[in-house]
Chain A
Amino acid sequence: MSFSAAKWRGHFPLLAAHHDLHYLDNAATGQLCEAALDAVTSHELLHRANVLRGTYRLAEQADAAYENARRQVVAYLNAASTEEVVFTSGTTASINLVAHAFGDGLKPGDEVVLSLAEHHSNFVPWQMLRDRRGVVLRILPLTADGRIDMAHLGETLTPRCRLVAVTHASNVTGAVTDLAPLIAAAHAVGARVLVDGAQAVQHGPVFVASLGADFYAFSGHKAFGPTGVGVLWGKAEALEKLPPFLGGGGMIGRVSVAETTWAPPPRRFEAGTPPIAQAVGLGAALDWLRTQPWEDMHAHTTHLAQRLSDGLAVLPGLIFLGPRDLKNRLPIVSFNLAGIHPHDACQILDEHGVAVRGGHHCAQPLMDFFGVPGAVRASFAPYNDEADVDALLAGLKDAMRKLG
């Protein structure tokens, strides 16, 4: 394996500044890569101006940087054109955009299909739509180990289904959704498909064209880019049919006292000043990520997840959430130790320099499915190494000594 975690870690200024930090909360936020940091700094220092408005050179430079970021997203997603890429403030905003722009066109009794594994960001907007428009939510159940149970596709996707909104991969179990049959089944009944890619994009380029979904949402901060920026990718013909979600500057064709016409996508969905520098930073992050040795990096992070799973398996009272094997799974490991609350475990792990998340992970329906209020979650990025795993295991043993 040619990949070096230590070398990769060197591309992340925060990790270089915190030598003793074992950062294992990458499913919540990845660290900012230097490519993104440099791009943001350079943009703010040399090219800061509003976009799509000015005719002076500085504004044109800002325009060029912003639109270049859109091209970088296109390249990472292997999308067809920049018209398909809408910059938002993050995955949550992207999903809410679809919930309004697409959802408000639905009629009472129309159906939206979710799964029990969704993050609240792909659950609550649809509940709000249900309450606003009278649509019916249908929930795909899970297999015993927490994967979306495709055996129930036929009975869940009825002719009234208008949209299927599912995660590309669970932020709790790491289980990767088998999207192909789901998308095929959705399209067979005439439904659109939105994929929540918040967890997937940081684990390698996405091929939206072959994936076949109609919408794909993700956040910059999980993909080693800045906070405050995200993307809604949509098929050009799907975006073209949608009305705007937010109104304001930048998204109009012409405004008169009597009426307003809309700009074409993607500007139709980017009302107001967009997150310009953040988009530039995200573009730089994705451009850098696109050239990385992903096969080796997957092998590395999978090895770390396996090492952790093996280390956990011998601890007494271990409760593991999700599939045990790492096939079709991201390197995310969630678990509990009997008698130790995840918050208490995380607090003691912090004493060992281990940063992990404890709680419901914004996935309370999934927690209810597993019958737990929360869990400890370790989520790996390529800059992690075996020392991170070993520090986590040592910290857990300390927590067991103190609280078990």
Chain B
Amino acid sequence: MSADLYQQALVDLARAAHGAGTLAAPDGSALRDSPLCGDRVRMQVALDAGRIMALAHDVKGCLLCQAAASLVGLHGAGLNAEEVKALRGQVAATLAGGAPPPGWPELSLFEPVRPHRNRHGCVLLPFETLLAALDSQTRA
């Protein structure tokens, strides 16, 4: 079970840490904690007309959380808040047993997480933090 969970492609995705770092002048940022395990994600976004031009994250979390953040770093540019909100729902649906959304094939790496409900939050946290970062910009 965990051999699938920690398949090499997922480990590589986490280690790649796409998007890790900070932005010099972000338009929006958010910090979110997982109340279950204490994992923490900081997400920053730079925007143009409401769409993500650049993003950066700092993850203090498990490998699943790191891999999900890396995935956000890989594909997050170009999305707006509505699309990220929809994407968050699609990721939750994927964890519940649905197919990964188009354009995010790496989400299939998280399919072995499905039976481990207490770990779903680890995968969702970067997406929720990205949404909060976009929301912070909207409210600013």
Residues of A within 8 A of B (CB): 341-344, 347-348, 350-351, 358-360, 364, 367, 373-374, 402-403
Q: Tell me the smallest distance from the CB of A4 to a CB of chain B, in Å.
A: 33
Find the residue from A341, A343, A359, A364 having the highest chain B CB count within 10 A. A343
Contact yes or no, B63 A344, CB < 8 A: yes
Q: Which residue of A lies closest to B40 (CB)?
A: A373
Tell whether B1 is near chain A: CB-to-CB under 8 Å. yes
B60 at the interface (CB under 8 A from A): yes
Whether the pair B6, A374 counts as a contact (CB closer than 8 A) is no
Which B residues touch A360, using CB under 8 A? Answer: 37-38
- Given known pairs A341-B63, A403-B11, the reply for A347 and B2 (CB within 8 Å) is yes
Q: Is the C-beta of B5 less than 8 angstroms from some C-beta in chain A?
A: yes
B38 touching A373, Cβ below 8 Å: yes
B residues near A, CB below 8 A? 1-3, 5-6, 11, 36-40, 60-64, 116, 119, 122
Which B residues touch A364, using CB under 8 A?
Answer: 38
Q: With the chains together, A344 CA to B37 CA distance in Å?
A: 11
- Contact between chains at A341 and B61 (CB < 8 Å): yes
- Beyond the given A347-B2, A347-B119, A373-B37, could you list 12 further A-B residue pairs with CB under 8 A, ordered by the A residue number? A342-B37, A344-B62, A344-B63, A348-B6, A350-B1, A351-B2, A359-B36, A367-B38, A373-B40, A402-B3, A402-B11, A403-B6
Which residues of the partner chain A approach B62 to less than 8 Å between Cβ atoms?
341-344
Q: Chain A residues with Cβ under 8 A from B119's Cβ?
A: 343, 347
| Chain A to chain B contacts (Cβ below 8 Å), 26 pairs | A341-B62, A342-B62, A343-B37, A343-B39, A343-B62, A343-B64, A343-B119, A344-B6, A344-B64, A347-B5, A347-B6, A347-B119, A348-B2, A350-B2, A351-B3, A358-B37, A359-B36, A360-B37, A367-B38, A373-B38, A373-B61, A374-B37, A374-B38, A402-B2, A402-B3, A403-B63
Measured CB to CB, the closest approach of chain A to B20, in angstroms, equals 15
In the complex where A359-B38, A367-B38 touch, is A373 in contact with B6 (Cβ < 8 A)? no
Which B residues lie within 8 Å of A344 (CB)? Answer: 6, 62-64
Q: Which residues of A contact B1 (CB under 8 A)?
A: 350-351
State in angstroms the CA–CA spacing of A348 and B5 once bound together: 9
Contacts of A350 in B (CB 8 A): 1-2
- Closest Cβ neighbor of A343 among chain B residues: B62
A367 to B39, CA, bound (A): 12
- Are B60 and A373 closer than 8 Å at their CB atoms? yes
Complex Cα gap A347–B2 (Å):
7
> Does B5 contact A343, Cβ atoms closer than 8 Å?
no
What residues on B are CB-neighbors of A341 within 8 Å?
Answer: 61-63
Give CA–CA (A251, B63) in the complex, Å. 51
The residue in A341, A350, A359 that gathers the most chain B C-beta atoms within 10 A of its C-beta is A341
Asked if A359 meets B116 with Cβ closer than 8 Å, knowing A344-B62, A344-B63, A351-B1, the reply is no
CA distance A218 to B116 in the complex (A): 31
CA distance A350 to B2 in the complex (A): 8
Alpha-carbon distance between A102 and B34 when the two chains are bound, in angstroms:
33
A402–B60 Cα distance when bound, in Å, is 20
